[in-house]
């Protein structure tokens, strides 16, 4: 069954069920056509096929059950008549020929086999083998239910330590990432093992959305894939009827929202199951006081139900959650939603918001706030970026996911990076609070998606929000300046010649004082690290650090000349020689691989103009070369000289690299 031209967000699951039904009908016809050799066999659908989730490139998983003969006695001709037509039709068929007893025996040592058989249903053939399988499965479940549930729960929780989160990733795996279909399956398996649990309805609806997107993805890509890559998103969006230019954004907002619903409901569901398994019907009764009216009880944070459900108590609880990193009890989550349904800003609420952002587990707490729907009341501006994708090759997370990661990253940078730690110590010594820094980290990209310069739009939006919250003008000015200039250090360090005194003086003028400079250093690091490993390399970190120290020295000495490097005689000679070698539009280029073949020195001499360093770096990135060191000089005559030391990937084509470097500076090659 082919996918239709347009797939709705609520129709994909139905398409897959109909496809499974068509395979059922085909197998019914095939087992009849197989004749006497298959008369006593039972064809049983398991796994995704058993659930009726059959996407275009899904596996058709079958058990071929027999009861009164060995596997060797089953006619190979009969099996060929059953399976070859499916293979010829393009289906990926996984099958096992087993007795009911063997099928259950496999479940005892193989979790995949155990979970697959939980969705078993008879498709065609003799009923007796299937009935025996169901009888044996019931006895096995009665005996090993707790053990299997423990394995499923532990496996699902273990995945959370190694997989990305689908609701926050720009290119999620719809099946295996956290919040994907695998979490929905885990809840279904656990519900099947229990007579008292059902999969929450909101998770089922979210799963229907992901199944529809998966159907469209398989329809667009002629092979099995579960990851909806950024380059595939526009095609999948059109397949789902989203033909507008922003269709891919609309698609991913639905994907991210659905995945977050599954992520949260699965977390609550799994935690409940694990607690029941570990403790049985009785609670341990152990508790630890975390704050006034807040305790850690049986591994979850619980608020005294008699505590007033108001803004101050709500933020007090959030502060505790960000500090301890423990999950919130279901009853307390409901209390928290009521407490922050309407926010009244007081000095205590503002202080606890700032303490919340400084917590060791702030990223986890901020995501929980999203799951509970707290952001619209706290920060109405947040809705425009919730689950919104970012379109560049460096970012890994949605806009809000990046901001949560960056907020957590402020403390991580201070702890892990010596330069950031020194800057933080110096700020503390002069009495400067870090609260503006944490709020700037949370809000610095809130202006994205407006069509304006996001730094300017973000500053304006943040100023409005902080004014509404009641912060004072000095505090708001600091946050606003940090947001406005959050790209200043990284952009200047990587795109301008920091040996040029005018460049340094320009940064000094924009920053204005060393306090803001120190705050910007930490924010730049946290922002870069939260973007992704390709956005914050050791080379970029060293350039930003170099620029920071030069600007700081100007603030301390009042002199620009003291921080501008003079060009060595050897470099000047090299510059002149390269200038004379210029063979294309007065551009000189020399590439010298070292004897090991692991590194190379690349020298360029050309007329200085804006963007020359960025263009050269762009070509090196195009050739997958990591920059270890970069130097740039400009002579009094306006001649620019650049030196790069790079790591060279295997198979580097030096002639092609040289041609691209010359072409990009001659405007014959566009990088954007």
* Mean pLDDT per 10-residue section of the chain, whose length is 672 residues: 82 92 92 80 93 90 81 70 84 89 90 92 93 94 90 88 93 96 94 84 96 94 90 95 92 96 94 76 69 91 94 97 94 96 97 97 96 96 93 88 97 96 96 97 95 95 97 97 97 86 93 96 97 87 93 89 53 51 66 82 84 86 83 75 84 89 82 64
585 in the same domain as 559: no
31 in the same domain as 133: yes
Q: What residues pair up with 44 in beta bridges, in sequence order? A: 63, 122
What is the four-CA torsion angle of 549, 553, 559, 563, rounded to 10 degrees? -30
Rounded alpha-carbon distances, angstroms, from residue 175 to 2, 224, 228: 21, 12, 10
* DSSP SS3 for 661: helix
Residue 438 has what pLDDT?
A: 98
115 in the same domain as 59: yes
Instruction: Answer yes or no: is 138 within a domain.
Output: yes
Q: Where residue 344 sits, what CATH number does that domain have? A: 1.10.110
- Pick from 224, 249, 279: which residue ends a domain? 279
Residue 579 has what pLDDT?
A: 52
517 in the same domain as 390: yes
- Pick from 547, 565, 583: which residue ends a domain? 565
Contacts of residue 224, Cβ cutoff 8 Å, sequence gap at least 6: 57, 58, 92, 218
Look at strands 639-647 and 599-607 and give their pairing: antiparallel
Domain count, the chain: 5
511 in the same domain as 426: yes
Residue 470 has what pLDDT?
A: 97
333 in the same domain as 387: no
163 in the same domain as 52: no
301 in the same domain as 239: no
Instruction: Answer yes or no: is 79 within a domain.
Output: yes
335 in the same domain as 291: yes
Contacts of residue 425, Cβ cutoff 8 Å, sequence gap at least 6: none
Q: Tell me the pTM.
A: 0.81
Maximal CA-CA distance, the chain: 97
161 in the same domain as 190: yes
Q: What tokens were used for 635?
A: 């002579």
* DSSP SS3 for 246: coil
Q: Where residue 605 sits, what CATH number does that domain have? A: 3.30.70.260
| Parent domain of 610 | 569-665
Residue 562 has what pLDDT?
A: 60
529 in the same domain as 472: yes
Residue 358 has what pLDDT?
A: 97
174 in the same domain as 215: yes
Q: Where residue 214 sits, what CATH number does that domain have? A: 1.20.120
CA-CA distance, 103 to 108, in Å (whole number)? 9
Residue 478 has what pLDDT?
A: 98
CA-CA distance, 627 to 620, in Å (whole number)? 8
Instruction: Answer yes or no: is 406 within a domain.
Output: no
């Amino acid at each position: 069954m082919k996918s239709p031209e347009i797939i709705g967000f609520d129709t994909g699951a139905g398409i897959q069920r109909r496809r499974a039904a068509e395979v059922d009908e085909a197998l019914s016809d095939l087992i009849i056509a197989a004749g006497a050799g298959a008369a006593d066999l039972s064809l049983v659908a398991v796994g995704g096929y058993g659930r009726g989730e059959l996407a275009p490139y899904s596996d058709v998983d079958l058990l071929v059950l027999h009861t009164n003969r060995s596997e060797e006695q089953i006619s190979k001709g009969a099996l060929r008549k059953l399976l070859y037509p499916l293979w010829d039709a393009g289906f990926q068929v996984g099958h096992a020929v087993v007795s009911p007893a063997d099928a259950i025996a496999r479940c005892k040592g193989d979790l995949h086999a155990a979970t697959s058989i939980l969705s078993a249903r008879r498709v065609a053939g003799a009923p007796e083998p299937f009935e025996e399988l169901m009888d044996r499965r019931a006895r096995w479940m009665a005996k090993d239910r707790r053990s299997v549930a423990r394995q499923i729960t532990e496996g699902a929780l273990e995945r959370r330590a190694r997989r990305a989160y689908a609701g926050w990733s720009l290119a999620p795996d719809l099946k295996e990432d956290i919040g994907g279909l695998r979490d929905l399956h885990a809840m279904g398996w656990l519900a099947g093992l229990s007579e008292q649990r059902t999969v929450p309805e909101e998770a089922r609806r979210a799963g229907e959305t992901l199944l529809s997107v998966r159907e469209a993805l398989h329809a667009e890509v002629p092979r099995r894939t579960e990851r909806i890559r950024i380059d595939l998103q526009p095609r999948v969006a059109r397949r789902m009827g989203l033909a507008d230019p922003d269709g891919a954004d609309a698609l991913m907002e639905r994907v991210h929202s659905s995945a977050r619903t599954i992520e949260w409901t699965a977390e609550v569901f799994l935690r409940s199951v694990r607690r029941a398994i570990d403790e049985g019907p009785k609670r341990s009764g152990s508790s630890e006081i975390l704050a006034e009216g807040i305790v850690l009880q049986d591994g979850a944070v619980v608020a005294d139900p008699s505590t007033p459900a108001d803004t101050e108590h709500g933020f007090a609880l959030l502060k505790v959650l960000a500090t301890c990193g423990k999950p919130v009890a279901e009853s307390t989550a409901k209390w928290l939603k009521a407490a922050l349904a309407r926010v009244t800003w007081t000095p205590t609420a503002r202080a606890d918001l700032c303490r919340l952002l400084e917590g060791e587990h702030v990223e986890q707490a901020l995501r929980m706030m999203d799951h509970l729907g707290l952001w619209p009341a706290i920060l109405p501006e947040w809705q425009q970026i919730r689950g919104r994708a970012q379109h560049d090759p460096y970012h890994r997370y949605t806009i809000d996911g990046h901001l949560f990661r960056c907020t957590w990253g402020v403390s991580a940078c201070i702890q892990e990076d010596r330069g950031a730690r020194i800057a933080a110590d110096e700020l503390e010594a002069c009495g400067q609070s870090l609260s503006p820094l944490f709020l700037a980290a949370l809000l610095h990209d809130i202006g994205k998606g407006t069509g304006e310069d996001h730094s300017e739009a973000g500053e304006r939006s943040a100023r409005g929000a902080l004014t509404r919250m009641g912060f004072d003008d000095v505090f708001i000015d600091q946050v606003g300046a940090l947001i406005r200039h959050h790209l200043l250090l990284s952009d200047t360090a990587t795109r301008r010649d920091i040996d040029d005194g005018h460049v340094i003086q320009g940064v000094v003028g924009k920053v204005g004082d060393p306090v803001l400079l120190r705050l910007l250093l930490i924010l730049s690091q946290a922002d870069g690290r939260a973007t992704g490993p390709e956005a914050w390399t050791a080379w970029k970190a060293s350039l930003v650090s170099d620029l920071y120290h030069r600007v700081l020295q100007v603030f301390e000495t009042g002199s620009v000349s003291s921080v501008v490097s003079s060009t060595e005689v050897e470099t000047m000679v090299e510059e002149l020689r390269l200038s004379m070698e210029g063979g294309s539009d007065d551009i000189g280029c020399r590439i010298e691989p070292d004897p090991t073949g692991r590194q190379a020195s690349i020298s360029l001499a050309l007329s200085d103009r804006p963007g020359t360093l960025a263009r050269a770096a762009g070509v090196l990135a195009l050739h997958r070369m990591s920059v270890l060191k970069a130097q740039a000089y400009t002579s009094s005559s306006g001649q620019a000289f650049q030196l790069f030391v790079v790591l060279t990937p295997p198979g580097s084509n030096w002639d092609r690299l040289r041609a691209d470097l010359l072409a990009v500076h001659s405007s014959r090659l566009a990088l954007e």
